[in-house]
Chain A
């Protein structure tokens, strides 16, 4: 069963604008969430994470928001740059698990 869902397979955004990527989860046991970025023929690269005790975490141009009641998180990229064009994966886990459950990914294309 798919416990982590990214319902938008693709997103196109203009350079300099905001990219908003969404992720929903079904397992209420999840208490740690991560976003990874993946270029073709490379492994996923860690971007940013958030613990369930927080509702927001920022790192430079990247901000992750967590809404536990809605079981929803989002990644904001501001401003978007051409190098941000990649597939973005949302992942979730529990403090005792370790293994990550991934969504199917969102392909982001940043246009000039």
Chain B
């Protein structure tokens, strides 16, 4: 399977705990995006990387959120001191570096539930 993979698929945590999600993009893709989707809404952009550089962060990404892509391959998204409002589906997508016209391919997502 050469698609985008995400781990874990589901995460249940208690408020105040830290969680970390992992995304493995399609191997030849330089750009990696994180989105968040809540019930009844479309995905909302959080941040993106070109290789290992984080080039843009949404204002949705509070200081409790941090994302890394240390070697330009897989990426992690960490949420510290989780809140109930963080409950959502976290989606990762990847594309090549040619720019905005390239199709973004999504992983299956990580569903986070904060109790």
Interface residues of A (CB under 8 A from B): 4, 6, 32, 34, 36, 41-46, 49, 51, 89, 91, 93-105
Q: How far is the CB of B113 from chain A (nearest CB, A)?
A: 13
Contact bitstring B46-79, A, C-beta under 8 A = 1, else 0: 0010000000100000000000000000000000
With contact pairs A99-B56, A104-B41 given, residues A46 and B103 touching in the complex (Cβ less than 8 Å): yes
**Which of A41, A42, A43, A104: most chain B CB closer than 10 A?**
A43
Residues of B within 8 A of A105 (CB): 40-42
Q: How many A-B residue pairs have CB under 8 A?
A: 66
Q: Using Cβ atoms and an 8 Å threshold, which residues of chain A touch B106?
A: 36, 43-45
B interface list, Cβ under 8 A from A = 4, 6, 31, 33, 35, 40-45, 48, 56, 91, 93, 95, 99-101, 103-109, 111
B44 touches A102 (CB 8 A): yes
Contact between chains at A104 and B42 (CB < 8 Å): yes
The answer to whether B42 touches A42, judged by C-beta atoms less than 8 angstroms apart, is: no
Residues of A within 8 A of B40 (CB): 104-105
Complexed CA–CA distance, A95 and B95 (Å)? 13
In the complex, the answer to whether B109 meets A100 with C-beta atoms within 8 Å is no
In the complex the two chains form, is A98's CB within 8 Å of B99's CB? Answer: yes
